[in-house]
Amino acid sequence: MKSLILLRGLPGSGKSTLAKELSEDGKYPVFSVDDYFTDASGNYNFEFDKNHLAYKQCQENTETALKKGIQKIFIDNVFSLEWEMEPYFKLASQYGYKIFVLTLENRHKGKNIHDISEEQLQKMAKKYKIILL
């Protein structure tokens, strides 16, 4: 079975840590919107006006991996709103992948690695939707 696994949660919930663990130290790819804003030295420099480019790059990287038929592919993003996940649902269907969405919570008291303020985290939490079907 080929799987596309979306890891979603607020900053600090452990998405990146879990993605690394599940990818078996790089055996399976992990893509993130954050990749666009991270330089070769690992420094993160977010620019809101380029966020649309980051989303596009993440989707393109995912589609490239899907075309290759890689068994497991992980996407590590906040995914606070349904529309942010929709392109991945469509890609999974198009390339014959089973899709899973894992929602992480910060029960380990993790710190977000991007220095997002508590005020901004609260704003993000208010718009974060859990889908019940």
Asked whether residue 132 is domain-assigned, the answer is: no
Residue 81 within a domain: yes
Domain assignment present for residue 54? The answer is yes
pLDDT, tens digit (0-9, with 9 covering 90-100), for 14-24: 898 999 999 99
Does some domain include residue 95?
yes
Q: Is residue 133 part of a domain?
A: no
- Report the CATH number at residue 120: 3.40.50.300
pLDDT digits (tens, 9 = 90+) for 44-90: 898 989 999 999 999 999 999 999 999 999 999 989 888 899 999 99
Residue 13 lies in a domain: yes
Written as six digits, the tokens of 9 are 């949660």
Q: Are 109 and 40 in contact (CB under 8 A)?
A: no
Domain encompassing residue 33: 3-127
Q: Crossing angle, helix 82-94 and helix 51-68, to 10 degrees?
A: 20
- Evaluate whether residue 118 is within a structural domain: yes
Domain count, the chain: 1
The DSSP line for 13-58 is: SSHHHHHHHHTTTTTS-EE-GGGGGB-TTS-B---GGGHHHHHHHH
Q: What is the pTM of this model?
A: 0.84
- Residue 122 falls inside a structural domain: yes
For 131, the token pair is: 């889908």
